[in-house]
Homo-oligomer: A and B are copies of this chain.
């Protein structure tokens, strides 16, 4: 077994937490009930398990390579990407108008998790293409949409996002790439972009670069940045390919992980100027990026869940095989598979609880996103959008930080073998390490979570979030089981800690921003931990209901235990985070910069 898609857990999340039948009642999603979901997930499982997952190790050992401006991807990648496009997977959540399937994010997210579990490097090409599609859908002219979108949605062409420059990483105000209008409606683009994922490769016949650049005389800072399409090969009005554009891949990076995905340095305009097309209006590039940022950040959160799931499976399989030492309770006469040892069980359950908690959270967020897009009532759309935007930095920030812990435990479960590359656990550990960095570091997510998602509305959405949790606690308290009681207790303590921090943030953010932002990442981790715990609380209630009804006993019992483990082992970290946020800023602010 290389990878087994957790279809059952995904369907449980959809029915019990994401309320998929409610989504299927929304206009446009009439076909997207649980039967469709199950059929799509099972087909996706077959494809990702059978075609994509087997390429994961090869991608690490024989990564993308660069020569004379061309990038050769790992053998097998191009063929698998062709199958990916032909199977309609790139278009899953995109509009039917341009050849997509028009499915809700709730279903597409599950498929994206599978693709990423199978092969994080491979999936990146699809994620970046999704981002470019979203950018064109958001702001592209009708002509740009008609020429580019069908070919991107079919997987024939791929997309890239060109934001970063050597001096401009998190801080896009520093972007220097420039675009000069040519008088014929086109532009010539000049500049250097770095860290461009799949910026050059041999898996598709064209690459559609979305590029942030400044027009002559544009304002300084982020308000003077525009967005351009710069195709690798020029395209005529019918979509036929023409000459090579003036964009060159001058090198790719030697990275810690996700080695199969080429990370390119792109040089625009060294030979006269790369021809580009303005997307939307001048100087609104960053705004367009922000519209799609939520989707891209959410997708990276899914990557965290995905690599964690894969690490869980690898570690559990090893723990059942590897025989070492007698059980501590003397229950067996000699050495036993290490899964008998309580600490191995603790590690595996930590991995499981964190992964399933974040999956549940991601599914709940996807449901909010679907309602925000498709609900007929504007007020509901607005409310659901606010919930989705509140949850996105938690899915991105918390699920990726979680993936660092889970993949590290995955190495640990393997003991010495975990440090040997052949075992595979180390690859997950290396691959995961980028997830807390790209699409905005955890600190950037935390700034967003404090600034836009907590403070801007005076804590309204944050308090509503806490109230939803209180309601789950009330339900849990009415149950007889120890598991429900434990969950109710831990959720209550964590929720109260969250509210204390919330009050402190709101009270101090203006008068002492340094103190508040020194606690930004712990605040995000606290809220993410609580949000996943909230969903595990709901999962526990649902699983107990299903047990009562006599259904699927093994799965539901297991879910109750994983949820209880989450309560006692993961939620218990929350009060410590509160203490370090509320009391911990002075040791930071009093330190002189020289003393670091």
A-to-B contact residues, CB < 8 Å:
164, 167-171, 173-174, 195, 253-257, 316, 319-320, 323-325, 328-329, 335, 339-346, 348-349, 352, 404, 408, 411-412, 415-416, 418-422, 426, 429-430, 433-434, 436-438, 441-443, 446-447, 482-483, 486, 513-515, 517-522, 554, 557-558, 561-562, 564-565, 567-569, 572-577, 579-580, 583-591, 593-596
Check B520 against A342 for contact (C-beta < 8 Å): yes
> Are A580 and B569 also in contact (CB < 8 A) when A325-B171, A343-B443, A420-B255 are?
yes
Check A564 against B587 for contact (C-beta < 8 Å): yes
Check A416 against B437 for contact (C-beta < 8 Å): yes
Q: How far is the CB of A384 from chain B (nearest CB, A)?
A: 30
Check A408 against B433 for contact (C-beta < 8 Å): yes
> Are A438 and B416 also in contact (CB < 8 A) when A167-B323, A587-B569, A591-B345 are?
yes
Q: How far is the CB of A589 from chain B (nearest CB, A)?
A: 8
Q: Which listed residue, B349, B436, B576, B595, touches A574 by the CB 8 Å rule?
A: B576
Return chain B residues, CB-CB under 8 Å to A446: 343
Return chain B residues, CB-CB under 8 Å to A174: 324, 335
Q: How far is the CB of A338 from chain B (nearest CB, A)?
A: 9
Check A426 against B328 for contact (C-beta < 8 Å): no
Q: How far is the CB of A556 from chain B (nearest CB, A)?
A: 11
Return chain B residues, CB-CB under 8 Å to A342: 514-515, 517-518, 520, 585, 588-589
Q: Which listed residue, B343, B408, B483, B519, touches A518 by the CB 8 Å rule?
A: B343
Q: Which listed residue, B256, B320, B520, touches A429 by the CB 8 Å rule?
A: B256
Check A255 against B415 for contact (C-beta < 8 Å): no
Bound complex: CA A580 to CA B349 (Å): 13
Return chain B residues, CB-CB under 8 Å to A345: 518, 588, 591, 596
Bound complex: CA A562 to CA B584 (Å): 11
Check B170 against A415 for contact (C-beta < 8 Å): yes
Q: How far is the CB of A210 from chain B (nearest CB, A)?
A: 18
24 contacts between A and B (CB under 8 A): A164-B416, A167-B323, A169-B415, A169-B416, A171-B324, A171-B335, A174-B324, A254-B420, A255-B421, A256-B420, A328-B517, A329-B513, A342-B518, A343-B517, A345-B591, A348-B596, A349-B587, A349-B591, A412-B436, A412-B442, A561-B590, A564-B587, A569-B587, A572-B579
Return chain B residues, CB-CB under 8 Å to A586: 482, 564, 568
Return chain B residues, CB-CB under 8 Å to A426: 256, 433
Check A437 against B420 for contact (C-beta < 8 Å): no
Return chain B residues, CB-CB under 8 Å to A588: 342, 345-346, 349, 565
Return chain B residues, CB-CB under 8 Å to A441: 412, 415
Bound complex: CA A170 to CA B417 (Å): 12
Report the 10 A-B pairs with minimum CB-CB distance, sorted nearest first. A565-B587, A342-B518, A568-B584, A572-B579, A256-B426, A343-B443, A171-B325, A564-B587, A342-B517, A558-B595
Return chain B residues, CB-CB under 8 Å to A195: 416
Q: How far is the CB of A277 from chain B (nearest CB, A)?
A: 28
Check A343 against B520 for contact (C-beta < 8 Å): yes
Check A568 against B591 for contact (C-beta < 8 Å): no
Bound complex: CA A343 to CA B324 (Å): 43
Return chain B residues, CB-CB under 8 Å to A514: 328-329, 342
Task: Report which residue of A168, A404, A595 has the largest number of chain B beta carbons within 10 angstroms of its beta carbon.
Answer: A595
Q: Which listed residue, B443, B483, B568, touches A579 by the CB 8 Å rule?
A: B568
Bound complex: CA A323 to CA B167 (Å): 8
